[in-house]
Amino acid sequence: MNKEDTAYKSIGEVAKLLNLINQKDGKPNTHTIRFWETEFKQLKPKKLSGNRRYYDQNAVSILKKIKYLLKEKGLTINGAKKILDNPNFIKLDENKKNSISVDSKRIKNKLMNISNIIKDIKKIK
């Protein structure tokens, strides 16, 4: 892990990282992140001089999850809160890659079984 991964990021850097960019002027939509801070208790950026916000890797990870739930899955704020408040959510997310590979193997096996059954049925006709 290099320094860039562990360093605090400004709100503008995080907005760019999350691709929260205004389509008209190309500027980062930092207001979205500030709004999410008011709605999600998990977000607590470090505030330094001039009330500037800085985010560690944990906060960036939470913001990525929030964006995914709201923008990609289409959940409401309350729906996303319920998921993030669930202690099992983090565990599921951390094991996501492992569960996907296990699920894909299971699905592939089931498809092979179905394919074999179809072949057997065709032989009977």
Q: Domain holding 78: CATH number?
A: 1.10.1660.10
What is the per-residue pLDDT across 55-97, written as a single tens digit (0 to 9) for each? 999 999 999 999 989 998 899 999 899 888 886 665 545 445 4
What is each CA distance from 5 to 1, 52, 60, in whole angstroms? 6, 20, 11
One domain for residues 40 and 80:
yes
Q: Of all residues in the chain, what percent carry a pLDDT higher than 70?
A: 80
Give the C-alpha separation, 49 to 31, whole Å.
Answer: 19
Provide the domain limits for residue 109. Answer: 95-125
pLDDT bracket for residue 102 (50, 70, 90): low
One domain for residues 78 and 26:
yes
One domain for residues 41 and 77:
yes
Residue 99 confidence (pLDDT) above 60 = no
One domain for residues 14 and 56:
yes
Give the C-alpha separation, 70 to 114, whole Å.
Answer: 37
One domain for residues 62 and 107:
no
Please enumerate in sequence order all residues whose Cβ is within 8 A of that of 67, keeping only pairs 6 or more positions apart, or say none: 18, 20
One domain for residues 15 and 76:
yes
One domain for residues 29 and 61:
yes
Provide mean pLDDT across the span 90-111. Answer: 60
Q: Longest C-alpha distance within the chain, in Å?
A: 80
In three-state secondary structure terms, 53 is strand
Identify the residue whose tokens are 């985010």. 55
Q: Rounded to 5 degrees, what angle do the CA atoms 19, 57, 9 make?
A: 60
Tell me how many domains the chain contains.
Answer: 2
